[in-house]
Amino acid sequence: MSHSAAALYKKATQDAKDHLIQPWPSAGSIGAEARGVLGQGEGIYVHDDRGRKLIDGPAGMWCTNVGHRNAVLADTLREQAMELSYNSPWYTSNEPSAELARRIGAHAPGDLNHVFFTTGGSTAVESALRLAQYYNNVRGLEGKKKFICRDGGYHGSTYLSASLNGSQRSRNWMDFADDMMIRLSCPDPFRRPKGMSLEAFRDQLVKEFADAVAAHGADTIAAFIGEPIMASGGVIVPPEGYFKAIREICTENDILFIADEVVTAFGRLGHVFASEACFDVVPDIITFAKGVTSGYFPLGGMAVSDRLLSTLRNSNHPEAMYAHGLTYSSHPIGCAVALKNLDILEGGLLDHTREITPYFHDKLKRLEELDLVGEVRGMGLMACIECVADRESQNPIRLDTEVGVRIDRHCQELGLLLRPLVHMCVMSPPLVITREQIDTMADILHEGISRTMRDLR
Ligand code: PLP
């Protein structure tokens, strides 16, 4: 690393420590944390303040799908800023957002032909929840207000979206709109009761859903919201047929089905949207963000069904306002970047992702030969390594061993960034990853986990 780069990193580290409040800090270090600084990115790699070149294993936060330093996206940012850097969405629209809405509508399943743009995933989810309640108010069903969500889910950091979240650790010290939420079990096949078949487990989850609807009354429930694959919860792929059965119950009970595809959309599972392509379900609303611009611009949104919109248009309250909007809704720069990002996905990256997915899982699955690894699971270019203290009983590793953090630390020394989650490590590399790079990633993981096992002896 050059002297000037080292000096810049040092200054950035100090400035961050003195002035920057990082996301998800703890009270003891809020506003005074040194988390390390990243410098230049290139494809699947990032350089850090210690002069290391690291594989960006989690694609930032599930988002750098086309990889770092993509010249087409970088040029587009500049070109659109020079053309029209902003317009007020209150009064006008712009070309990139209109075209992007049309193209997203064409990719979305069923009749989800209309798109509302936001600034990211939390605001997309918040918009969907508020639309669901507003939809019922306009229909004269003011009692239909609650949302069904699940343990292990993650949907954002705004008040309502965060109230859906299922991680106990993040619920301890914050306030939530809990009276609005109906929380069900996590559909985690790895943690199903011992000896239970996957089909029986699915049926149990579906029964729990139906029972909750009956107990609370369909006339109190606005929507179910779920990630097709729980990402931050540990890449949890529910048992086959689970979503289809839930979709049916929702339809029968006039409950909206919201698929939170903030992670799974825009290529992560090899498709623009995963709900129908991977789970055979057509939602009423799909939320998206992250991969829509591959992280080059903060953009998100929701695709909404024609059915829902035409119900609103034909309601008895044409004057009722959906009083919800953002200064940066339909941002022209974000939408222009998203259009080029979509070109890249359509132009071969979706095919590449589908083609390379079996290789990715085959390589990672081999980590199950290590005693610490209870399961390697995933779908598309999403994977999770779940560690266990004891394979027979599948006991999660004791939290005080910080096993995810240990594996992450070793892997960083070896050239790989991970996302550690207590006793799990999550991987979702940029979609441009090659077979050789997957080999390197798997080798590093093997060594990083082996070193962790030695630490714990
Ligand atoms: N929904 C899901 C499924 C997510 O994984 C996330 C973020 O990780 C969000 C919503 C919130 O998105 P954002 O952080 O862009 O607000």
> DSSP readout, 93-160?
--HHHHHHHHHHHHHSSTT--EEEEESSHHHHHHHHHHHHHHHHHHTT-TT--EEEEETT----SSHH
* Ligand 1 contact, 295 CB (< 6 A): no
CA distance 46 to 54: 5
Locate the ligand 1 atom nearest the alpha carbon of residue 227 and give its number.
3
Nearest CA to ligand 1 atom 12: 121
* Ligand 1 contact, 125 CB (< 6 A): yes
Span 12-37, average pLDDT: 90
Query: Which residue out of 118, 123, 262 has the highest number of ligand 1 atoms within 8 Å of its CB and is therefore the one to mutate?
Result: 262
Q: Is the ipTM of this complex over 0.90?
A: yes
Closest CA to 62 of 235, 239, 274, 280: 235
* Ligand 1 contact, 155 CB (< 6 A): yes
* Ligand 1 contact, 156 CB (< 6 A): yes
Structure confidence by residue, pLDDT tens digits, 330-349: 999 999 999 999 999 999 99
* Ligand 1 contact, 227 CB (< 6 A): yes
Confidence band of 45 (pLDDT split at 50, 70, 90): very high
Residues sharing a CB contact under 8 Å with residue 383, sequence separation 6 or more, in sequence order: 235, 360, 361, 364, 376, 377, 426, 427, 428
Lowest mean pLDDT among 91-100, 327-336, 385-394, 442-451: 385-394
- Distance from residue 61's CA to the centre of ligand 1 (Å): 9
pLDDT of residue 79: 98
Locate the ligand 1 atom nearest the alpha carbon of residue 158 and give its number.
16
Span 370-377, average pLDDT: 96
pLDDT of residue 8: 86
* Ligand 1 contact, 261 CB (< 6 A): no
pLDDT of residue 171: 86
* Ligand 1 contact, 158 CB (< 6 A): no
CA 439 to chain centre: 25
Locate the ligand 1 atom nearest the alpha carbon of residue 231 and give its number.
5
CA distance 408 to 449: 9
Locate the ligand 1 atom nearest the alpha carbon of residue 122 and give its number.
16
Q: Are 415 and 54 in contact (CB under 8 A)?
A: yes
Give me 252's structure tokens: 């029968």
Residue in the block written with tokens 């609807």: 213
* Ligand 1 contact, 153 CB (< 6 A): no
> Rounded to 5 degrees, what are φ and ψ at 101?
-60, -45
* Ligand 1 contact, 301 CB (< 6 A): no
Q: Is the dihedral of CA 63, 65, 70, 73 positive or negative?
A: negative
* Ligand 1 contact, 360 CB (< 6 A): no
Which helix (H) or strand (E) segment is 429 a member of?
A: none
* Ligand 1 contact, 61 CB (< 6 A): yes
> Could you give the 3-state DSSP secondary structure of residue 55?
strand
SS3 content of the chain, % helix, strand, coil (to 5): 45, 15, 40
Give me 379's structure tokens: 């779908």
Locate the ligand 1 atom nearest the alpha carbon of residue 120 and give its number.
15
Span 389-406, average pLDDT: 83
Query: Which residue out of 119, 290, 292 has the highest number of ligand 1 atoms within 8 Å of its CB and is therefore the one to mutate?
Result: 290
Lowest mean pLDDT among 119-123, 170-174, 202-206, 384-388: 170-174
Span 168-188, average pLDDT: 93
* Ligand 1 contact, 120 CB (< 6 A): yes
Flag whether pLDDT at 1 surpasses 80.
no
Q: How crowded is the C-beta side of 373, counted as CA atoms within 13 Å?
A: 22
Structure confidence by residue, pLDDT tens digits, 209-224: 999 999 999 999 999 9
Give me 179's structure tokens: 């009276």
Nearest CA to ligand 1 atom 14: 121
Flag whether pLDDT at 265 surpasses 80.
yes
pLDDT, the chain, mean: 96
Span 404-432, average pLDDT: 95
pLDDT of residue 399: 67
- Taking every pair of Cα atoms in the chain, the longest distance, rounded to a whole number of angstroms, is 69
